[in-house]
Amino acid sequence: MAKVLVTGAAGFIGSALSRRLLDRGDEVVGLDNMNDYYDVNLKKARLARLEGDPRFAFVKMDLEERQGIADLFAAEKFDQVVNLAAQAGVRYSLENPLAYVDTNMVGFAHLLEGSRHHQVKHLVFASSSSVYGANTAMPFSVHHNVDHPLSLYAASKKANELMAHTYAHLFRLPVTGLRFFTVYGPWGRPDMALYLFTKAILSGEPINVFNHGRMRRDFTYIDDIVEGVIRVLDRVPAPNPDWRPESPDPATSNAPYRIYNIGNNQQVALMTYIEALENALGMKAERNMMDMQPGDVPATWANVDDLIEDVGFKPQTTVAEGIDRFVAWYRDYHQL
């Protein structure tokens, strides 16, 4: 089995992925800086699900610590790296843009350097559906150009894809970027809509519904995201023999580089999402209908044809199923 570095291991996706890797017999080194962007106690609770396993080791460190990251790679000799650490949040990037430069770009460069100097067999990194930005051709395809981001968060994720391609080209480092679409489920982030809505409804407070409820999202359940990451991690990308520089395909390369969407491959109206939550809670929400937020987009929808073709997987968890599981977890976690 492999030794895997998972960055952002105390995070929503990172902790779930680490658990799956441990369950299948891999050795996991989890890295996280445990910042207070949201409740650190939730991060500690996620880690507690991992730390009893003898094949798990936790390292508290910032990705920006150049020498620390270099020393970690030299000491551990990782087979694979999954980068899920990032300063998250589209709206927060309007207030604290430099946090995104430090973690999402400088930190990622340190991982690229560590991976190339220590012959990592495959680096998989989290991109985001937000890179599609001003694009409106749907469903969003990895073969579309994505050169018009609408937030610095999105721009930092697009930058990661470009940086990764450069290392794949120059050093033949196998890299795969994954564009996640609106991930939700148990152990989710408190700053995301489902958590905020649930907390407000149970407290008898109104929920803020942006774009007057006309949002549509490709909501993707956490277990589907993790399954997609695992399958892609096990498939080391090879150069595309059909790639042509006169008509370059953004999703592939003549280097060992690949981009995939991981989404549920369907649009769900925000109001339908809220209704599913009301059904799961057995309570109605009072809605504050609000304008669109700066940096946000009205709709997302993932084309996952490449994911299906290459790794044989398509997310299938319905919103009703996923929300029911989240509500059950929320009530248990908060002892309600």
User: Catalytic positions, please?
Assistant: 153
Residue 115, Cβ neighbours under 10 Å: how many?
A: 26
Which among 180, 125, 183, 130 has a CA at the least distance from the CA of 155? 130
Say if CB 256 and CB 122 are below 8 A apart: no
Nearest alpha-carbon partner for 43 in 34, 51, 55, 56: 34
SS3 state of residue 330:
helix
How many residues belong to the chain?
Answer: 336
Which pairing describes strands 3-7 and 27-32: parallel, antiparallel, or unpaired?
A: parallel
Extract long-range pairs of 272-276: CB within 8 Å, 24+ residues apart: 272/319, 273/193, 273/194, 273/217, 273/219, 273/319, 273/323, 274/197, 274/207, 274/209, 274/213, 276/319, 276/320, 276/323
- What is the rounded distance in angstroms from the CA atom of residue 324 to the CA atom of residue 336? 15
Choose among 228, 209, 227, 112: nearest CA to 162: 112
The three-point CA angle 32-12-123 to 5° equals: 60
